[in-house]
Amino acid sequence: MTVFAVEYRYDASTASRRDEVRPDHRGWLADIADKGQLLASGPYEDGSGALLLMKADDAEALQSLLEQDPFAVEGLLAGSSTIAWNPVTGPLASQF
């Protein structure tokens, strides 16, 4: 299992629609957290995006999962980037 850092970028013009879809987005996040696929997530304070720390077998499995996010389904992401991440210190490191 690989840990990935996923960065979402938002466009200010979609803020009101994101507010409408946010309950579904957070429900999806809670579901994948319960399944152990999401380690942590949260928005940036400036509203420009969010960071998600996730586990997946590989990049393809992660992409398939991310495509199910209601924000992605509704076209509310201005962009995203994904990179494999190796936690070596701190509470998350002890899990891997």
Whether domain 2-87 has CATH 3.30.70.1060 = yes
User: Residue 1: its pLDDT value, please?
Assistant: 86
CA distance 35 to 60: 18
The one-character DSSP state at 74 is T
- Widest pairwise Cα distance in the chain: 40
Dihedrals phi, psi of 60, to nearest 5 degrees: -65, -45
User: Looking at this protein, which amino acid is placed at residue 96?
Assistant: F
Query: pLDDT-derived band of residue 94, with 50, 70 and 90 as boundaries?
Result: confident
| Proportion of the chain above pLDDT 70, given as a percent | 100
